[in-house]
Chains A and B, each alone.
Chain A
Amino acid sequence: MSLAIDLATVWAFIIAFAVFVYVVMDGFDLGLGILFPLFPAKADRDVIMNSVAPVWDGNETWLVLGGGGLMAAFPLAYSVLLPALYAPMIAMLIALVFRGVAFEFRWRAQGERNPWDLAFAGGSWLAALAQGIALGAILQGVHVEARQYAGGWWDWLTPFSILTGVSLVIGYALLGATWLVMKTEGSLRDRTYRLSWPLLIAMLGAIVAVSIATPFLDVQYTQRWFAWPNIILTAPVPIAVAAVTALLFRALTNKYDYQPFFLSLALFALSYAGLGISMYPYIVPQSITIWQAAAPKNSQIFLLFGVSVLIPLILGYTAWAYWVFRGKVRPESGYH
């Protein structure tokens, strides 16, 4: 095993980590937007927005790290995947524009109906859907020739990618609902409890549906999961999903404050680990491995220094920011 092989694997984990942090952190932000239509009252919406206003920008930065890190560490994968995912990526970027500016603009708009509430909800829906579709499109593989994407610009659109798109919308909604359980009180909290139940059921349905559909995409996925001896390593994943689900049912029944959110995160982590198991060692499934896409050693090492020092630091001050704004968001006092 040469040093280059180790580096590519290390970098695959770093990129996967950045994307995962993005998915869960912006996941609950986007989930709030997805749930927005269910909370038409202005007072509720103010509380919902206030619960993430101080942290959403940092959450979204992980998306930039995922993109920038991919370009730095695996430039070939970056340059193949983004043209392959052209329409969903453009849709996601435009959706994030609307969602992002809504945080400031909705406090500045005058008049009865606030157009930026619509921008926040619509942007969140579209961004979540586009990210889920992108995930499905990556899993089903893209057509590569001579270091370039060689397919058409609608190749990403399949029943499978629509399934992953809808699944992610459901998943983000669950994260958003359990986040609100944790951060709000009174009738808003009661309503988000009641919402969490159907969302959890739908999320489990989505996990099952994607898990059943994935092996049909490619024989490699089937072998990865079900061939002996792989199954010794893969079997714990569905078992853990079942265990977390049981704990989530208990937490929702007992109306715990914190557990529903963190257990939902665990559900995401397990699903994400499942995706990793399916994909590894490909970064563009069935076409490009992490070693083929890897940037030169000199690039990966240079950035690795920064990552190993700065990521812990970033996690530290991010945690501090969350700590500063800890506790329930109260409508009568606002932020202070």
Chain B
Amino acid sequence: MFEGWDAVTLARAQFAFTMSFHIVFPAFSIGLASYLAVLEARWLLTGREVFLNLFNYWLKIFAVAFGMGVVSGIVMAYQFGTNWSAFADKTGPVIGPLMAYEVLTAFFLEAGFLGVMLFGLKRVGPRLHFLATLMVAIGTLISAFWILSSNSWMQTPTGHAVNADGQFVPVDWLKVIFNPSFPYRLVHMVLAAYLTTALVVGAVGAFHLLRDPQLAGPRVMFSMAMWMATLVVPIQILAGDQHGLNTLKHQPVKIMAMEGHYQSHPDGAPLILFGLPDQQEGKVRYAIEIPKMGSLILKHSLDAPMPGLDTVPRENWPPVPITFWSFRIMVGMGFLMFGLGLFSLWCRWRGTLFESRLLHVFAVLMGPAGFIAVLAGWITTETGRQPFTVYNLLRTAESASPLAAPAVGSSLLAFVIVYFVVYAAGVTYLLRLMAQPPHPGEAGLPREMPTRTAGITPAIERATQ
């Protein structure tokens, strides 16, 4: 099996597959950890039980999602060595320490306090428990800091030299860490994580409000989530725009791919809304475009010249169709979120936030929108960097392990089967938890309660029905 396949292509497929399954869970748990910290803080400050109920409700969901993020993350940490050993040897001196710092400052912090956060409320009391929740939330953000720093260095490498063995060696760590695209990417990704979580929380709240608009917990979570959509989506659109301008400055070829600009436009480039990029022919078929709009957005001038991919050697072209379409999917999701934020604000002003069925249906449908946008955004930025792993310096084809196709193909097949089994089960359990509304006196994780009296574990509930 897999003889005649290209080992590099299989390794890329494996990275794309395992990464796509992994990234949605950190994106969700970064946001959810912060949301849990906010809920617990509001419970401690106000003493209102609804916040504790919501905390315990989302804690159970967090435990499942976090576990799935952890196990799929370990796969990523070792994949640099198994499938991309040439990359690991060459970039290890630079991004190895960044990832090790992620482990030391973030993973241990999360893992060390997670047990107390999940099971320890009655053992340590509310104040120390809140500290544990806070540490887990901070840990997820520190983790984002380091991993985005190393990813950004691969996109816009600075602060390094190359030694005799062809390894990248650090010269100025501040320049390595705070490389040109890092601040933009960090802000864009953390906001994306917060919005992803807000949309899930909003969808779950709306789902229960559709059945009973009087439920206290769903009202609170829906209102909080819609405030996030109203206030944070415009900030995210602004951050995304700035990130795009930064990319234009440091990775213009990626922008050409995102925009479908195969041809140069010396007197103002159009904004191609839709079309079918044809990589062979080097043009976008059936393009629907607004003249000069591309230059206006990217250069703030109608007639600004925009070079196209015809100025770039063909062997350095990113795969335009993927980059072009994933970018449009991300932007489309962003505008839908913006619409949800505005619609909810209007309903709030009218006093129908908890009654408008149209709003609730819209919010339920938008539940997965954050995940779709995160995935599409990552595909845009990662395929837009191709054919390099370290932008313009190390080619993807030169990064792979010296393995034959059958080895890489078999492991890919194994991961596909395992992930579909595990993730299908995990998503089923998550949806089952979300399908229950939060109850008054919501218990934490099943272990926390005496097994005889635990109210809401599925097994017990069935037994008592």
**Given the contacts A93-B78, A318-B112, A65 and B104 also touching, CB distance less than 8 Å:** yes
A157 close to B (CB within 8 Å)? no
Chain A residues, CB < 8 A from B163? 296
State the A residues within 8 Å of B (CB): 46, 50, 53-55, 57-58, 60-61, 63-65, 67-69, 71-73, 75-76, 78-83, 86-87, 89-90, 93-94, 96-98, 100-101, 103-105, 107-110, 147-150, 153, 295-296, 298-299, 302-303, 306-307, 310-311, 314, 317-318, 320-321, 324-325, 331-336
**Given the contacts A53-B119, A104-B64, A149-B85, A97 and B93 also touching, CB distance less than 8 Å:** no
B6 close to A (CB within 8 Å)? no
Min Cβ gap A272→B in Å is 21
Interface flags, B410-429, vs A, CB<8A=1, else 0: 01001100110010011001
B445 close to A (CB within 8 Å)? yes
Whether the Cβ atoms of A98 and B422 lie closer than 8 Å is: yes
Whether the Cβ atoms of A153 and B403 lie closer than 8 Å is: yes
Q: Which of B64, B165, B414, B422 has the most CB of A within 10 A?
A: B422
Whether the Cβ atoms of B459 and A58 lie closer than 8 Å is: no
- A82, A324, A331: the one contacting B82 at CB < 8 Å is A82
Q: Which of B111, B407, B415 has the most CB of A within 10 A?
A: B111
Q: Which residue of A lies closest to B91 (CB)?
A: A75
Whether the Cβ atoms of A71 and B88 lie closer than 8 Å is: yes
Whether the Cβ atoms of A310 and B81 lie closer than 8 Å is: no
Given contacts A148-B402, A296-B170, A321-B115, 5 further A-B contacts (CB under 8 A): A65-B103, A75-B90, A295-B93, A298-B171, A324-B115
B75 close to A (CB within 8 Å)? yes
Q: Is the interface of A mostly helix, strand, loop or mixed?
A: helix
B178 close to A (CB within 8 Å)? no
B16 close to A (CB within 8 Å)? no
CA of A302 to CA of B70 in the docked complex: distance in angstroms?
A: 26
**Given the contacts A108-B429, A324-B120, A83 and B92 also touching, CB distance less than 8 Å:** no
Q: Which residue of B lies closest to A82 (CB)?
A: B81
Whether the Cβ atoms of B88 and A54 lie closer than 8 Å is: no
Whether the Cβ atoms of A107 and B447 lie closer than 8 Å is: yes
CA of A97 to CA of B450 in the docked complex: distance in angstroms?
A: 29
B127 close to A (CB within 8 Å)? no
Q: Which of B63, B80, B85, B94 has the most CB of A within 10 A?
A: B85
Sorted from nearest, which 8 A-B pairs have the closest CB atoms? A75-B92, A54-B115, A82-B81, A72-B96, A79-B89, A79-B85, A100-B71, A58-B111
Whether the Cβ atoms of B82 and A299 lie closer than 8 Å is: no
B169 close to A (CB within 8 Å)? yes
Chain A residues, CB < 8 A from B169? 296, 298-299
- A53, A68, A148, A321: the one contacting B112 at CB < 8 Å is A321
Chain B residues, CB < 8 A from A64? 73-74, 77, 103, 107
